[in-house]
Amino acid sequence: MDLQLTGKVALITGAAGGIGLAIARAFLAEGACVAITSRDPDAPAQTRNALADMDRTDNLLTVSCDVSKPEGAARAVEETAARFGAIDCVVPNAGAAGYPVGWDASAEVWQSAFAANLFTGTNLVTAAVPRLIEAKGAITFISSITGVESLPAPIPYSAAKAAIHAVAKNMAGDLAKHGVRVNVVAPGNVLFPGGNWDRKLNDPERRAEIDGYIRNQVPLARFGTPEEIADAVLFLSSSRASFITGASLTVDGGQTRSYT
């Protein structure tokens, strides 16, 4: 299926590896121009090197900025528009995990979880909406199944991911009249080198526990891949999904039980 993304401009945050890198690679493969961001000053160059095999570096922009701050998000949008002339697709993917589990999280943990997992997205789309209105473009937030159902995950992290769904649903209603679509992809357990699950599996004392969890809780009995998440994002970002807005697409191998 031709997703009709050739020549479109996609801005993706948190693309240094894992899901974000797979999304960037998928957009490039479809002929899009891609801007990627990371707050790690070395990450953009590393990402460019990781994508060098595609031989499309002329269509790739890397921006080192912190999108958890409004000025960082504004910079990402400005540099993308200056380089490519427009912004058609925005994918707020930046986030962070690893918070303590339990009801008694500190105020600092709550603030950190929301800054990393919600404000990185809201800052970006706030800065990008004027460009997206011009292009009648699409926003595809990356959330998590922890924002869809109650799962054994840190509460501040889950709350921040759930807030993404509320933001997207309301933005979809506000921006529909401008031709801008807003959707969410909620990944389940995704395995990639250096990721949270990879670190857990590399702990010999936890490997059997993790393997059992996946077999027992995920009907497809396996981890997802970053490429499978990227496929969902590209579809929702494309004109093939032109009548889909305000939706949440769960990509989790059947783990969640509720209807979304």
Active site residues: 157
The pairing of strands 181-187 and 138-142 is parallel
Closest by alpha carbon to 147, among 134, 157, 135, 133? 157
How far apart (Å, rounded) are the C-alpha atoms in residues 184 and 229?
Answer: 11
Question: Quick one: how far is CA 204 from the chain centroid?
Answer: 30
DSSP of 5-48, one letter per residue?
A: -TT-EEEEES-SSHHHHHHHHHHHHTT-EEEEEESSTTHHHHHH
Are the C-beta atoms of 62 and 39 separated by less than 8 Å? no
Count, in order, helices (H) and strands (E) of the chain: 9, 7
Cα(63)–Cα(13) distance, rounded to whole angstroms? 9
